[in-house]
Amino acid sequence: MMQLGTITYNIAKDWDLPTILKRLETLGYQGVELRTSHAHKVEVNLTNEQRQEVRKRFADSPIELAGLGSAFEYQAVDPAVVRKNIEGTKEYVRLAHDLGSPGVKVRPNGIPKGAELDATLRRIGDALHEVGEDAAGFGVEIRVEVHGGVTQELPNFAKILAYADHPNVYACWNSNPTDVKDRSVRENFALVGPRIREVHLRDLYDEQYPWRELFALLNEQGYQGYTLAEIPESSDPERVLRYFRALWLAYQPRPKE
């Protein structure tokens, strides 16, 4: 069965790590993706001792570290900007390794103004190949979020993965409106389905998105990874997360009799 977690972006962005672990356990969640720049302060500036302390906190908790969520991206025309993001990703990979995180989330973020589409997709893919190869040596997956104008369109995103051409570069399904074609995500899902290692979910009450179909497609391919709530902040986050879990359970495929 797939697992339920949340991203600290944005519903839990103001929670420190002890609060995250305590509240998610109480709410019946199983894991968390720690998005960079939030109150948990699990960042690359941690000392080795601090990294081991964070790792122990998760080891002593039923809540799993589902992954680290970075904002590194590789579409820039300037090679120096791309290189800076590649090297930043590598630092995050080492943090993930030290913490016991199974993956690092990265993203494309659209096409620079005036840039040629295919050349940009290839540039992103080349960078992903490098960071995927580096991360493989640390036992950490690179999970590419389906993100950004134009780059989140699944045919383009599938090209990025093809250009990356590395077994350690995976997809993070992002539940975007552009996934949907004729009220279905089946066609676009098929382009990346076998490469999905992480799923970001939006507000499950949105009837424009075929949530039940998405859950069924994940179930059909035996997906047992995390489906993570990426939802807006709230003045009553615990109540919202309880409702989110209830809907998540309701959308689970029913066993065949």
**pLDDT tens digits, 219-248:** 999 999 999 999 999 999 999 999 999 999
Specify the amino acid at residue 17: L
Specify the amino acid at residue 55: R
**Do the Cβ atoms of 73 and 204 come closer than 8 Å?**
no
The pLDDT of residue 257 is above 80: no
pLDDT tens, position by position, 24-47: 999 999 999 999 999 999 999 999
Q: Which residues contact 174 (CB under 8 A, 6 or more apart)?
A: 145, 146, 147, 152, 200, 230
Strand pairing partners for 32? 6, 65
DSSP state for residue 194 in the 8-state scheme: G
The pLDDT assigned to 232 comes to: 96
User: How far is it, in rounded angstroms, from Cα 115 to Cα 77?
Assistant: 7
The pLDDT of residue 22 is above 80: yes
Ordered structural domains, the chain, with CATH: 3-250 (3.20.20.150)
pLDDT tens, position by position, 75-131: 999 999 999 999 999 999 999 999 999 999 999 999 999 999 999 999 999 999 999
Tokens of 92: 């995050």
Tokens of 174: 């992002």
The pLDDT of residue 190 is above 80: yes
The pLDDT of residue 256 is above 70: no
User: How far is it, in rounded angstroms, from Cα 184 to Cα 181?
Assistant: 5
Residue from 194, 65, 88, 196 nearest 134 by CA: 88
Average pLDDT, the chain: 97
pTM over 0.85: yes
The pLDDT assigned to 1 comes to: 86
DSSP three-state, residue 97: helix
* pLDDT bracket for residue 20 (50, 70, 90): very high
User: How far is it, in rounded angstroms, from Cα 31 to Cα 7?
Assistant: 9
